Structure 1
Amino acid sequence: MIQHVPFIGGEKQSLHASLDRHRDAVLWKLDRLDDDALRRPMTPSGTNLLSLVKHLATVEYGWFCTTFGRETEPFWFDPFTEDMLVTTNETTKQIVDFYGRARAAADATIAELDLDDLGTAWNGNKVSLRWVLIQMLEDTARHAGHMDIVRELIDGTTGTHPQT
């Protein structure tokens, strides 16, 4: 089911729905591709679909959990230098499940806090949940756009969601 931002909704509900819409698009970009295609570097920097999912999971945990003093799972990689690198030891299922857990942890933070609640970002800045939602929405939309291009280069599939 395709998420829609409510035409008449509260600010928090609307921001969260928009974030979910882009999160769903990220996962759809992986649909029906084999492991080789998901890992195929499609840019000179080595970007591939699976590395973008790993990065988004890492930053969901960082922005929504670490910023607000909430637990994250222990990472098996250095989140500051290896979040865009998928090794042969990491399975597709491991990365997709990691994204699912990060998303669930972020959703719990969103549900439990008010938009004006403050946390401390990795750089020491005080930030509100509202600011974090906007930041994560921008980051997810940006990388979903990257994934649109990468997926089109792999097999010609375009769009943000399956055509129904």
Structure 2
Amino acid sequence: MTHLKVGDKAPDFSAKDEQGNTISLSDYKGKKLVVFFYPKASTPGCTAEACNLNDNYDKFKTQGYEILGVSADSAKRQSNFKNKYGFQYPLLADEDKAVIEAFGVWGPKKFMGKEYDGIHRTTFVIDEDGILEDVITKVKTKAHAEQILTD
């Protein structure tokens, strides 16, 4: 779905997180960053994925990674999601889909025979210089940290 590939420069972005703070790619200059896009807060697959990353948060920090979750949910919905599960990383409320479209993860999907537009669950691993180190399109929601940290 996404047009981005390993070796590409990560799209520059700025968006509000669940608390209304503006977060930009430039905030992570000199750090490694995992940006995971998920379809909808508090749904089973998205909860499994976000919890798996949170459960392994210390491993990510030890290896120098920051984590950022992104969906088109409202700040209130993201805040409820984060508070319910105690996520230690910010969740972007990308309601206008600027970040989602910059990364190319919005498009046609099929679910139970119905076709609609939505977010394709995709994770981007960005190095200290803002270059894509990995693009994961086949996300294993219950073992996502393992996918990222062993790739």
* TM-score normalised by L of structure 2: 0.28
Indicate the structure with greater helix content.
Answer: 1
Which of the pair has more CA radius of gyration? 1
TM-score by length of 1: 0.27
